[in-house]
């Protein structure tokens, strides 16, 4: 028996080895009325895996608000789409590639970027910008440097090569991620509304064409074994499950796919991602309510002797499925030839709703499409932790003031979560596409759609420490912060894509975190009228029973409304500095409490959706009048870090400006400087505009305080902190590279 026809017998034991539960195997046998074949077992396993089926999360995700007058496409397709006017739409999504990146950081991150790019251009949208959200362990952990270096190189290596600007993101370091890093990749593309392409198979008898790379043995069971299971001591053996990316081929595939769509040759397009040919053909057929018949002998292969099982489950990258009327096949093949890509008709749509696969003259799979595509959702047990998620309360009275504010401030500025990320983003091409208006280093990135006046703002945020302390509040804070980051650039939020990274859904306390986080996102999105149009769930981010901090990452997209985008750095000496919003002495969960006092327990800051909305109004109104010289969201590190960033985040080659800040006497200095109270913005205006700003704030009901003025060469906080701003900038910008080089 040669390798290509190796087809072991299927038993309950085989099913268990694949990762199916006994109930799942029983359901499969009952529905089929027989024992499944080896190949049927393989495809059912991947389609019913957590990663592909969302079986543990579906009942919760249903609660998210997904509708709005601008929504062209909500969750359920490859990406979400929102109308931005003038007949154009933005298409975007965020997706995780956590487990592969931990095993093989360069390729894991690179193929994560590749996958999300395909999700966007499969819908006919040319990608114009990418963001990424990364979480690593502490710098004391031996693997952190290796992972950070590999992931950044992989994101750059892939993203730069394909020519899509990487314009922003976020990175956090926390011991909770020591053994499970997170790599969430986001891409946004643009398409004419009328040309938005869906992946809904239609037209009985229509051929299905596989285009792109040849199929090899990489990544088999990446979805079921890698993404749907926790890590343990044998995880290194999973390296063959990590896919290998080729950005050059993806660039050709991008151009060919867009050309096929521009010439109206296709009826539906679907990219191949997790679980390769299987999931994309099943999903496409399922959305169209049709059956499909695949002939694996027609699939262009990279290696000889591949079995049907391997061909079905291979996660070889850079491949797409195109459904087209028979008359268009030749034109599609010609386009692929011109771009030096493979193209082969590998399947045909049928009317009987059955998923059939033939290989070497044998029908190896014949199962109803809906059996594969629609596994029952699970209602996993949920249990709130007995002692409360945040542990004992933590207030300012539990700690003494720093003896040396200057030292505490310098420590924070150079700490891993607060220092500048310039070392990272200077490895990404943020110019390609000729549309970047606000480059990395600001509150949100802004990219202009070339040929239009539309400027799209985008950001990605999640303070997972707050989420760990209180998943409901913490998740709503992630939405609030993302909205504030967009508002700070003068943009109105339009839509959210969420990437929910959690531990094992088989543990009731993780499901409680998940449920609460979804509720927090829901309530914040409803309060701001921002729909969730796409997203991703990544479970099983844990190792040997220890889960990551719950990390519901929020990517948010907006449209700039002010005449010019607003930027966070101070512009001119003499400008007046105002703090908008209410400050409270809430230090629990702050970077100050963690870094200076080693305390990470308590309740996250107070959230008030009304206060956030009022703040939005003030910034937008003042921005529309053109009176804001700068605006910066106050978040990690509190007000002191916001001021430091406003001094130092100036563009390359521009000297930083100092400031003199007067503390609020009604609060303990450390609380006022470092608390991470929400709904606040640090703005600067020309002196003569101070009155107008006060009027706008008062009318909106937002507290406003004049806290200082932009100075020349020093940053001073009363007489507590005084540092030459050039030294501050060097400290802030050099810290990450120093952490990386430390022995």
Catalytic residues: 51, 97
The CA distance from 117 to 131, in Å, is 11
Residue 429 touches other proteins, criterion: CB under 8 A: yes
What does the radius of gyration of the chain's CA atoms come to, in whole angstroms? Answer: 26
Region from 34-42, 439-447, 501-509, 547-555 binding other proteins, contact rule CB under 8 A: 439-447
Q: How many CA atoms lie within 13 A of 729 on its CB side?
A: 19
CB of 649 to other proteins, least distance (A): 9
Give the C-alpha separation, 578 to 437, whole Å: 25
3-state DSSP of 352-372: CCEEEEEECCEEEEEEEHHHH
- Burial class of residue 14 in the structure, from the number of CB atoms within 10 Å of its CB (0-12 exposed, 13-18 middle, 19+ buried): middle
Applying CB under 8 A, does 430 fall inside the site for other proteins? Answer: yes
Closer of 572 and 698 to other proteins (Cβ): 572
Exactly one of 205, 651, 691, 724 binds other proteins (CB under 8 A); that residue is 651
Applying CB under 8 A, which of residues 291, 435, 602, 656 lies at the interface with other proteins? 435
The strand pairing partners of 367, in sequence order, are 355
Q: CA–CA separation, 307 vs 216, rounded Å?
A: 11
Q: State yes or no: residue 490 binds other proteins (CB under 8 A).
A: no
State the nearest-atom distance from the C-beta of 647 to other proteins, in Å. Answer: 15
Count of residues touching other proteins (by CB under 8 A): 42
Q: Which is nearer to other proteins, 235 or 427 (CB)?
A: 427
Q: State the angle between helix axes of 508-528 and 609-624 in degrees (0 to 180), rounded to the nearest 10.
A: 40
Nearest C-alpha neighbor of 133 from the set 449, 644, 497: 497
Place of tokens 């809904």: 200
Dihedral sign for Cα atoms in the order 602, 682, 458, 108:
negative
At closest approach, how far in Å is the CB of 251 from other proteins?
Answer: 5
Q: Is 252 in the site for other proteins (CB under 8 A)?
A: yes
- Under the criterion CB under 8 A, does residue 121 sit at the interface with other proteins? no
Minimum Å distance from CB 299 to other proteins?
A: 23
In angstroms, give the least distance from the CB of 222 to other proteins: 23
Stretch that binds other proteins, among 383-391, 442-450, 580-588, 718-726 (CB under 8 A): 442-450
Mapping DSSP to helix (H, G, I), strand (E, B) and coil, where does residue 158 land? helix
Q: Which stretch binds other proteins (CB under 8 A): 96-104, 260-268, 428-436, 502-510?
A: 428-436
Q: Which of 339, 355, 405, 739 binds other proteins (CB under 8 A)?
A: 339
Q: Are 637 and 418 in contact (CB under 8 A)?
A: yes
Does 251 participate in binding other proteins (rule CB under 8 A)?
A: yes
Selected binder of other proteins within 55, 439, 613, 621 (CB under 8 A): 439
**Residue 461: closest CA among 474, 471, 473:** 474
Measured from the CB atom, is 155 or 593 closer to other proteins? 155
- With beta carbons less than 8 A apart as the criterion, state whether 533 and 555 touch: no
Site string for other proteins, 145-174 (x = CB under 8 A): -----------xx--xxxx-----------
Give the whole-angstrom CA distance, residue 521 versus residue 66.
12
Binding mask 538-577 vs other proteins (x if CB under 8 A, - otherwise)?
--------------------------xx-x----------
Instruction: Report the first-to-last Cα separation within the chain, whole angstroms.
Output: 55
Determine the interface stretch with other proteins among 189-197, 505-513, 651-659, 694-702 (rule: CB under 8 A): 651-659
- 3-state secondary structure string, 73-127? ECECECCEEEEEECCEEEEEEEEECHHHHHHCHHHHHHHHHHHHHHHHHCCCCEE
Alpha carbon 596 to its chain's center: 30
Identify which range of 58-66, 104-112, 365-373, 648-656 contacts other proteins by CB under 8 A.
648-656
Residue 486 CB, nearest distance to other proteins (Å)? 15
How near is the Cβ of 741 to other proteins at its closest, in Å?
A: 12
Nearest CB to other proteins, comparing residues 362 and 450: 450
Binding site for other proteins (CB under 8 A): 156-157, 160-163, 246-249, 251-252, 338-340, 425-442, 448, 450, 564-565, 567, 651-654
């Amino acid at each position: 028996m040669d390798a290509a026809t190796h087809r072991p017998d299927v038993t309950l034991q085989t099913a268990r080895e694949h990762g199916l539960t006994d109930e799942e195997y029983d359901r499969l046998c009952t529905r089929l009325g027989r024992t499944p074949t080896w190949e049927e077992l393989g495809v059912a396993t991947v389609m019913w895996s957590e990663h592909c089926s969302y079986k543990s999360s579906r009942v919760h995700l249903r609660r998210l608000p997904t509708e709005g007058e601008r929504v062209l496409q909500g969750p359920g397709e490859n990406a979400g789409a929102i109308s931005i006017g003038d007949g154009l739409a933005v298409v975007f999504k965020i997706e995780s590639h956590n487990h592969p990146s931990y095993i093989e950081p360069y390729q894991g991150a690179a193929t994560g970027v590749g996958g999300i790019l395909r999700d966007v251009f499969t819908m006919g949208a040319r990608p114009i910008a990418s963001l990424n959200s990364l979480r690593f362990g502490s710098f004391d952990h031996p693997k952190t440097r290796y992972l950070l270096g590999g992931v950044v190189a992989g994101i750059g290596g892939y993203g730069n090569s394909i020519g899509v600007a990487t314009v922003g993101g976020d990175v956090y370091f926390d011991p909770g991620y020591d053994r499970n890093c997170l790599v969430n990749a986001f891409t946004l593309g643009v398409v004419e509304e009328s040309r938005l392409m869906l992946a809904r198979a239609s037209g009985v008898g229509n051929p299905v064409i596989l285009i792109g790379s040849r199929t090899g043995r990489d990544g088999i069971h990446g979805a079921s074994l890698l993404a749907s299971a926790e890590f343990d001591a044998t995880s290194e053996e999973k390296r063959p499950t990590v896919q290998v990316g080729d950005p050059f081929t993806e660039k050709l595939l991008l151009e060919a796919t867009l050309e096929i769509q521009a010439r109206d040759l296709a009826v539906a397009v679907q990219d191949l991602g997790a679980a390769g040919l299987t999931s994309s053909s099943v999903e496409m057929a399922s959305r169209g309510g049709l059956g499909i018949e695949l002939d694996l002998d027609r699939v262009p292969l990279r290696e000889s002797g591949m079995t049907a099982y391997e061909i079905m489950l291979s996660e070889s990258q850079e491949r797409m499925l195109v459904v087209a009327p028979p008359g268009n096949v030749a034109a599609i093949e010609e386009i692929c030839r011109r771009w030096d890509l493979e193209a082969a008709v590998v399947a045909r749509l049928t009317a009987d709703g059955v998923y059939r696969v033939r290989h070497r003259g044998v029908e190896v799979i014949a199962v109803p499409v809906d059996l594969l595509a629609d596994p029952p959702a699970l209602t996993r047990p949920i249990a709130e932790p007995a002692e409360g998620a945040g542990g004992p309360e933590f207030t300012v009275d539990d700690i003494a003031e720093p003896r040396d504010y200057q030292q505490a401030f310098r420590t924070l500025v150079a700490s891993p979560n607060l220092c500048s990320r310039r070392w990272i983003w200077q490895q990404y091409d943020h110019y390609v596409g000729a549309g970047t208006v606000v480059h990395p280093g600001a509150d949100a990135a802004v990219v202009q759609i070339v040929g239009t006046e539309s400027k799209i703002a985008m950001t990605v945020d999640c303070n997972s420490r707050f989420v760990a302390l209180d998943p409901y509040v913490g998740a709503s804070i992630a939405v609030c912060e993302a909205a504030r980051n967009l508002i700070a650039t003068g943009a109105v939020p339009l839509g959210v894509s969420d990437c929910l990274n959690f531990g094992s859904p088989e543990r009731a306390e993780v499901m409680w975190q998940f449920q609460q986080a979804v509720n927090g996102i829901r309530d914040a999105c409803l309060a701001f009228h921002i729909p969730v149009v796409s997203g991703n769930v990544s479970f099983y981010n844990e190792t040997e029973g220890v889960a990551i901090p719950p990390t519901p990452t929020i990517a948010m997209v907006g449209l700039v409304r002010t005449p010019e985008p607003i930027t966070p750095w101070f512009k001119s000496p003499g400008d007046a500095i105002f703090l908008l919003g209410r400050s409270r002495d809430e230090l629990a969960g702050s970077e100050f409490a963690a870094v200076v006092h080693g305390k990470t327990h308590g309740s996250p800051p107070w959230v008030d959706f009304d206060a956030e909305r009022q703040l939005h109004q003030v910034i937008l109104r003042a921005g529309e009048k053109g009176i804001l010289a700068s605006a910066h969201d106050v978040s990690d590190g509190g007000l002191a870090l916001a001021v430091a960033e406003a001094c130092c985040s100036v563009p390359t080659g521009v000297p930083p400006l100092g400031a003199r800040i007067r503390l609020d006497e009604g609060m303990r200095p450390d609380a006022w400087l470092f608390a991470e109270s929400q709904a606040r913005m640090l703005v600067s205006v020309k002196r003569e505009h101070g009155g107008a700003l006060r009027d706008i704030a008062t009318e909106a009901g937002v507290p406003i305080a004049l806290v200082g003025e932009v100075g020349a060469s020093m940053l001073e906080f009363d007489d507590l902190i005084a540092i030459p701003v050039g030294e501050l900038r060097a400290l802030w910008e050099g810290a990450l590279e120093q952490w990386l080089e430390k022995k």
